[in-house]
Amino acid sequence: MNSVELEQPRRARRDAGLYGRRKGKTLRPYQAGLVENLLPQLQIDLSQRLDDPDGLFPDRKNDLRLEIGFGGGEHLASDAQTHPERGYIGCEPFVNGVAKLLVEVETRALANIRIHPGDAGDLIDALPDKSLSGVCLLYPDPWPKRRHKERRFVSDALLARLARVMRPGAELRFATDIDDYAGWTFARILRSPDFIWPARSVEDWIHPWAGWPGTRYEAKALREGRRPVYLSFIRR
């Protein structure tokens, strides 16, 4: 592929396909109970048309945010608690991560979170045009081996799919502690016709966003001497 070609998804896999394990340690009884009883109330049914995502919430949210791969859910839960006027959709295929978020939802009595416990690409494709006010992709798996880099979530095709469901002016937040993944993402953003990078100086990307609660992945990176970057891209 030359430098001006766009990456295309292979037929053998989905562009944002799932790799790796789906479940880790055995869930504690409390977590298992939440997965059994609370998750069905919050899970988005993709077997039905998702023409009105604002209607997923009883009080209809017209400011809808998506977090892709929410890990343990600490950032998503904190943001949802800080902004009850917003609606949040979290995507995470890892069962243990979903269980941790459900504990946060129950403990904090959060009513503005809905969950897709599967492939974020499926959720993105189900959303109507211009339905999202913001998207977060925080510390995605870097797939560092050369032969695995095609598995990275950020790709030309994925950015085009995201652009369809983001409103003009919507923010795409991306955080990583892996220099190579930051460069990979920059390359794809800068050749995308749908996004701009508005940063003016290094201060715009070496510090977390206002109100940032941190994540367990960030804490691990800092302990191991890696400095994260916090990148904001704007939908044209």
**So which residues are the catalytic ones?**
141
Q: Which residues contact 199 (CB under 8 A, 6 or more apart)?
A: 205, 231, 232
**Is there a contact between 233 and 171 (Cβ–Cβ < 8 Å)?**
yes
Task: Please report which helix (H) or strand (E) contains residue 90, including its range.
Answer: strand 87-91
Q: What is the edge-to-edge ordering of all strands in the sheet holding 87-91?
A: 113-116, 87-91, 64-68, 132-138, 166-176, 229-235, 195-196
Q: Which residues contact 183 (CB under 8 A, 6 or more apart)?
A: none
Cα–Cα distance between 132 and 117 in angstroms, integer?
19
Task: Please report which helix (H) or strand (E) contains residue 137, including its range.
Answer: strand 132-138
Give the bridge partners for 173, in sequence order: 136, 232
Among 47, 67, 31, residue whose Cα is nearest residue 171: 67
Give the bridge partners for 132, in sequence order: 166
